[in-house]
Amino acid sequence: MKFDIDLMYTCSLIEFIGRETHRRRGEVVRLLGDDAVKRIYRHAGVLHSESIERVAEEYISMSGIARGDFDNVGACRYEVPDYWTIGEVFERLIEDVATEDVLSTLREVYGSWMCDALSNYNSDLFYQPRDYLRECYLAGEILAA
């Protein structure tokens, strides 16, 4: 299993945009569109050298992402994981379940039940080992420990 820093950046930016716009992360991916997600992934090395706030602002504006009402950060009763941590969780899951190209799998994962489950910061799912997350995703449900 390799670590794809460009994928991690892309997932972290999706998380950051979701927090800024109060949108579910799957909505962010859909609203950004395939071309923008592809552009972020391809240029992640360069984008990473800029502040994530500025990059997020640019993509929010360019994609016309309006503010929603999903505030998983505000609803969290515990310590909120940072967007880099959540980006890495998604990066690992996408790598672990990829059967096609990474960006197709990114769309699938963010469009799945697992995306909302991982966005529930009142659960401990996002802290679970990557092999467990992979098995849950493939099974289509949270498995008994």
How far apart CA 133 and CA 92 sit, in angstroms, is 9
Which parts of the chain have pLDDT scores under 70? 1, 145
* Predicted local confidence at residue 93, as pLDDT: 98
Dihedral pair phi/psi, residue 58, rounded to 5°: -60, -45
Determine, yes or no, domain membership for 143. Answer: no
Give the separation between CA 21 and CA 48, rounded to whole angstroms: 20
Structural domain contains residue 145: no
pLDDT in the model for residue 100: 82
Question: Is residue 84 included in any domain, yes or no?
Answer: yes
Whether 102 is covered by a domain: the verdict is yes
Residue 122 gets which letter from DSSP? Answer: T
- Expressed as residue numbers, the domain containing 18 is 5-138
Contact 99, 105 (CB under 8 A): yes
Domains: count for the chain:
1
Task: Please tell me the predicted confidence (pLDDT) of residue 145.
Answer: 67
Q: Distance between CA atoms of 62 and 124, rounded to whole angstroms?
A: 34
Tokens linked to 17: 């945009």
Q: Enter the DSSP assignment of 82.
A: P
